[in-house]
Amino acid sequence: MSSKKHHSKALRQFFYWARLLHIYVSTALFALLIFFCITGYFLNHLKTFGGQNEDGSIQIRLPEKIHQSLDDSSTTMNVTTLTQWLHQRYHLQAPRSIEFDRDMNELFVDYNLPAGYATAVVNLDDGELVLDYRRGNTLAIWNDLHKGRHSGKVWSWIIDLSALLMVFFALTGIAILFQHKKQRKTGVILVVLGALTPVVIYLVAVPRLQGV
* pLDDT 10s digits, 94-134: 999 999 888 898 999 999 999 999 999 999 989 999 999 99
Long-range pairs for 40-49: beta carbons < 8 A, 24 or more residues apart: 40/146, 42/139, 42/142, 42/143, 43/143, 43/146, 43/147, 46/143, 49/139
In this prediction, residue 209 carries a pLDDT of 84
Whether 191 contacts 174, CB under 8 Å = yes
User: Residue 208: pLDDT band by 50, 70, 90 thresholds?
Assistant: confident
Q: With helix as H, strand as E and coil as C, how does 174-191 read? A: HHHHCCCHHHHHHHHHHH
Question: Can you name the residues that pair with 59 across neighbouring β-strands?
Answer: 130
DSSP letters for 98-149: EEEETTTTEEEEEEEETTEEEEEEEETTTTEEEEEEEE--HHHHHHHHHHTT
For the segment 130-155, what is each residue's pLDDT rounded down to a tens digit?
999 999 888 899 999 999 999 999 99
Q: How far, in Å, CA of 151 to CA of 172, rounded? A: 30
Query: Residue 72 — pLDDT band, cuts 50, 70, 90?
Result: low
Average pLDDT over residues 195-201: 94
Domains defined for the chain, CATH in brackets: 2-49+142-205 (no CATH), 54-136 (3.30.160)
Confidence category of residue 73, pLDDT binned at 50, 70, 90: very low
**Average pLDDT of the chain, as a whole number:** 88
> What single DSSP character describes residue 73?
T
> Hey, which residues does 91 pair with through a beta bridge?
none
Closest C-alpha among 108, 97, 103, 96 to residue 70: 108
Nearest in space to 103 (alpha carbons), one of 132, 125, 126, 129: 125
> Could you tell me which residues are beta bridge partners of residue 83?
none
